[in-house]
Amino acid sequence: MTVQQDIAFLLQLQDLDLKTRDIRNELENIPRHIEEIRQNVETVRTILQKESDRLTEAESWHRRKEADIALQNDLMNKSRIKLQGARNEKESKAAQREIDTIKKNISDQEKELIELLEAIEHYRTAIAEHQKEFSELESHLEDSRREGETRMTQIREGLVSADAERKTLTVQINPASLRFYERIYRRLVPAVVKTSQPTCAGCNFEIRPQVMQELMRGETLITCANCVRILVYDGEPVVPGESTDPAVSS
């Protein structure tokens, strides 16, 4: 088992670990996403309930107002009869005052009736809109639940096969290299970085020329002096026998 082989397997392992991490995140996000939609459904349901209560209230007030106006009209007729039958100016003036008061009452009640009608209209429109939104959200929730279930099953199956694939890979890696990789991966992702330049692709820290030569030779596992990521040379292949002594170039 050469270091080169180890590194090749570590890169494969990292690809697999990154993929697994992403799908695990997706798996966690599905129920969260569904819960958000469910909460939206509940919000609209609450709004609808309030609007429906207010509509019922406004309709009830409207009925009472109408009955009140009918009553006032009856009183008005009685006062008119009184006016017609008045025997003197005093009785006539009293009946006229009654009529004036009733007229004002009716006029006030009619204004309120118009306001109530406007409120009823407003609530009916709002309810219609929210009912539409509610049924759209409900079917969206149903779709999301169904799709979510399917996706979660796929992901769980994917995780099982990724786990098997991981086992197959890890047995081929030097245990010390594997442990080293896993220790870095727990706190730094990616743990293995490719570079063709004398800088760490993870943290941009400079790679000393001598270390760069060792990295190019690929005989040992090289790590970044700053972030400890495993470095992989990804540039032009080094021709065997060619001088890689940094002393020559400097």
Where do contacts with Zn ion occur on this chain (CB under 5 A)? 200, 202-203, 205, 224, 226-227, 229
The nearer residue to Zn ion, 178 or 184, going by C-beta atoms, is: 184
Considering the complex, state which of residue 123 and residue 185 has its C-beta at the smaller distance from Zn ion. 185
Residue 225 CB, nearest distance to Zn ion (Å)? Answer: 8
* CB 133 to Zn ion: min, Å: 51
* 3-class DSSP state of 193: strand
Backbone angles phi, psi at 201, to 5 degrees: -70, -10
Number of Cβ atoms within 10 Å of the Cβ of 62: 17
What is the smallest separation between the CB atom of 224 and Zn ion, expressed in angstroms?
A: 3
Other Cβ atoms closer than 10 A to 42: 11
Q: Residue 117: CB partners within 8 Å, gap ≥ 6?
A: 62
Q: Residue 185 CB, nearest distance to Zn ion (Å)?
A: 14
Q: With contact defined as beta carbons under 8 Å apart, do 127 and 119 qualify?
A: no
Q: Which residue, 61 or 205, has its beta carbon nearer to Zn ion? A: 205
Cis peptide before 246 (omega within 30 of 0): no
In the complex with Zn ion, which residue's Cβ is closer, 139 or 196?
Answer: 196
Query: Which distant-in-sequence residues (6+ apart) come within 8 Å of 35 by Cβ?
Result: none
**Least distance to Zn ion from the beta carbon of 228, Å?**
7
Q: Which residue, 130 or 229, is less far from Zn ion as judged by CB?
A: 229
